[in-house]
Structure 1
Amino acid sequence: MAMNNNTWAIILGGSDGIGLACAKRLAKGGFNLLIVHRDRRARGEELSAINSELISNGIATHWINADAALPATIDRALYELNEVDKNAKVSCLLHSIARGNVKPLANATDTLTRQDLHVTADQMAFCLLDWVKALHQGGHFTPEAAVIALTSEGSQRAIPQYAAVGMAKAALEALCRSIALEYAPFGIRCNSVQPGVCLTNSFYRIPGHEEIEAITRKRNPAGRLTTPEDVAGVVHFLTTSEARWINGANIPVDGGERIA
C-alpha cells in the first residue's frame, strides 16, 4: 500500500501487549495512529516514552484515554481525528481490547453473572460493529480498508474461568465474518487473528496462567510461546495490498500450537 500522511489506523486497546506491538509495527509501515486506551495516570511517563518511539517513524499520533465501547468515545474520536487531520482517512481499524471478566461458573460466592457476560461481550465484540458503522457512515474509511480483530483459542476450547471471554471471542469471530460479508461491496475487508499464548498483562490475569504457560511451552511444536511481535507482523500484512483477497478469515498465529 502506498502510504500518505493522511492515512490513519485506529487501534482500540493499543497501549499494552499485542495492541502496542501492532501500533509499533503499523507506525513503521507509515500509518498515523489514533490509539484508544484505558490507563491510569501512573503510566503517564511510560506512555510518553512509547509515543516518542512511535513518532520517531515520522508519523502522527493521537491518544484518547476512554472506554472504547461507549458511543460517546466513538463520537469524540472521530471529532478529534478531524481536528488533528481534516483530510484523515482510516485504512485500518484494529480491535485489541482485552478487558473481560474471568470468573468461575459454579462458585457460590464469586460466580460469573449475566452482567459480567454482557460487559465482556460489549467490550470484546459488540463495540466493533459500532466503530465500523460510524467510520463507514461518516465516510472515514479508505477505499480498501482493513478491519482486524484479535481473538483467542478460547473461542473454541473451554478454559476454566474463561467462559465470558470465550463467549465474547466466539461472538467476535462471528461478527467479523458478517462484517466481511456485508461490507465487502464497499471495499472493506474484515478478518480475525488468533494468537497463541502470549505473555501479556491480560494473560497474567487469567486464573491458572502459570499452568497454561507451562503446558503451552511443551505443546507448541516450535517449543516457544507466541510473541506480540509475531502477531503484529501478520496484522500489518493484512493491511497491505498483498492481502486484499483475504476476507472473512480467522488466521491463527501460534506456530502450530492449536494442532498439537
Structure 2
Amino acid sequence: MATATSERQETGAHPLFSLKGKVALVTGSSRGLGHAMAVAFARQGAHVIVHGRDPDQLAALAERLEESGANAGTASFDVTDMPACERAIDAIVSDHGRLDILVNNAGLASRSSIAETALADWRTMLDANLTSCFLLAQRAGAHMREREYGRIINISSAAGLFAARDRAAYVTTKHALMGLTKSLALEFAPFGITANAIAPGFIATDMTAAIRENSQADSWVKARNPQGRWGEPDDVAFAAAYLASEEAKFVNGAILTVDGGMSAVVI
C-alpha cells in the first residue's frame, strides 16, 4: 500500500513539510537551537536568513549552508532596537520580495533571585526575550499581511509553563511570550498568518554545557525527564520545520512543548 508521502512523490505533489520557495529569518541562529532550525529550514528548501552579532561567523555559516546546496543570507542587527528591526525586515523583503517565516529565537538567560534582580537587569531580560519578539512580529506581520501568508514561531521555554528557582525574570518573559503568541494568532489569522510557540525543555546546547558538566545537575535533569535524557537541538528544529510548513496551516496559537514529557508529569 502506498503511503501518503510516496503518493505525493509519484504524483509530483508538494512534498511533505517542504519549505521550497519560502524566505525565513531565524534570529539567534549562529549557534544552538537557532543554528539547528536554520539548517533544518535550509534542508527543507527555504532561503534562510541567519542572524547573530558576529558578521564573520554568520558569513561562514551561510557559506556552509550554500556549500550543502541551500540558499542562505545573513542579517546582523540588535533585536531590541526598533529602528534596526524595521530596517532589517524591510531589507529582507526588498531583497527577496517576501518574508514568509519569522522565528523569534534570540534571547537571554540568567540566574538571579527576585531579591537580587536589579531593575536594569529585569528590563534587559524583558527587552531581549519579549519586546524583541513583539517588534519583529509587528514589522514582519505588516509585510505578511500584504501577501496574506506568513508563519511566526516564537521560541519560549518549558519555564513558560511553571516557575524555576532564581529565574524570575526569565520565567516571566517566557510566560509572557506565550501570551503574545496567542494574541498574534488571534489578530493575524484573518490575513493567512499563523503564530505558534515552541516550549523546549532541557536541550543539549552550548548554553546548557555548564549544567551537563555538573554531574549532580546532569543526573537531576535525566531523572526528572520520563525519557531519561537531554533533548537534542534537532528535536526542536524538526518541530519548527513542521510549524513553518503548509501542513501546519490549521495550527494557530499553539504552544508545542518539546521536553520529552518533563512538564507533563510530577516525578
TM-score, normalised relative to structure 1: 0.85
User: Does the C-alpha gap of structure 1 residues 202 and 2 become closer, same or farther in structure 2, counting only changes over 3 Å?
Assistant: closer
- The aligned residue for residue 19 of structure 1 is 34
Structure 2 partner of 1:65: 76
> Which 10-residue stretch deviates more, 60-69 or 193-202?
60-69
Pair 123,182 (structure 1): closer, same or farther in 2 beyond 3 Å: same
* 1:164-179 aligned within 5 A: 164-179=169-184
Looking at structure 2, the residues matched to 37 and 178 of structure 1 have their Cα atoms a distance apart, in angstroms, of 27
> Match of 2:166, SS?
coil
Greater Cα offset, 234-243 or 150-159: 150-159
1:76 aligns with 2:87: yes
Q: What SS does structure 2 have at the residue aligned with 1:252?
A: strand
Unaligned runs of 5+ in 2: 1-16
Q: Percent identity?
A: 26
- For structure 1, the residue ranges without an aligned partner over 5 or more in a row are none
- Scaled by the length of structure 2, the TM-score of the pair is 0.83
Measured after TM superposition, the shift of residue 8 of structure 1 is 0.7
Q: For residues 18 and 32 of structure 2, what CA distance do their matches in structure 1 show?
A: 28
Cα RMSD after superposing both structures: 2.5
Q: Alignment partner of 2:100: what SS? A: strand
Q: Given residue 242 of structure 1, which amino acid in structure 2 is its aligned partner?
A: E
Distance apart, 1:247 and its partner CA: 0.6
Moved more, 157-166 or 135-144: 135-144
User: How many correspondences in the alignment?
Assistant: 249
Distance 2:78 2:100 in 1: 22
Choose which of 221, 246, 262 in structure 2 pairs with 1:257: 262
- Determine the structure 2 residue equivalent to 1:149: 154
Matches within 5 A, 1:127-166: 127-139=132-144, 142-166=147-171
Q: Does the C-alpha gap of structure 1 residues 216 and 4 become closer, same or farther in structure 2, counting only changes over 3 Å?
A: closer
The residue number in structure 2 matching 1:99 is: 108
What SS does the aligned partner of 1:69 have?
A: coil
Distance 1:74 1:169, change over 3 A: same
Letter in 1 for 2:46: F
Confirm or deny: 8 A CA contact 2:62 2:74 kept in the other structure. Answer: no
1:218 aligns with 2:235: no
Query: Over residues 175-222 of structure 1, what are the superposed CA-to-partner deviations in whole Å (9 max), with x where a residue is unaligned?
Result: 00110111111111111101120122333477x976443212112222
| CA distance 1:223–1:105, change in 2 (3 Å) | same
Q: Is the 2:77–2:85 contact (alpha carbons within 8 Å) kept by the matching residues of 1? A: no
Which has the higher mean CA deviation after the structures are superposed, 158-167 or 72-81?
A: 72-81
Distance 1:160 1:24 in 2: 33
Structure having the higher strand fraction is 1
Distance in 2 (CA, whole Å) between partners of 1:121 and 1:259 is 27
User: Once the two structures are superposed, what CA deviation does each residue of 1:22-45 show, in whole Å capped at 9, x if it has no partner?
Assistant: 000000011111222124x7xx4x
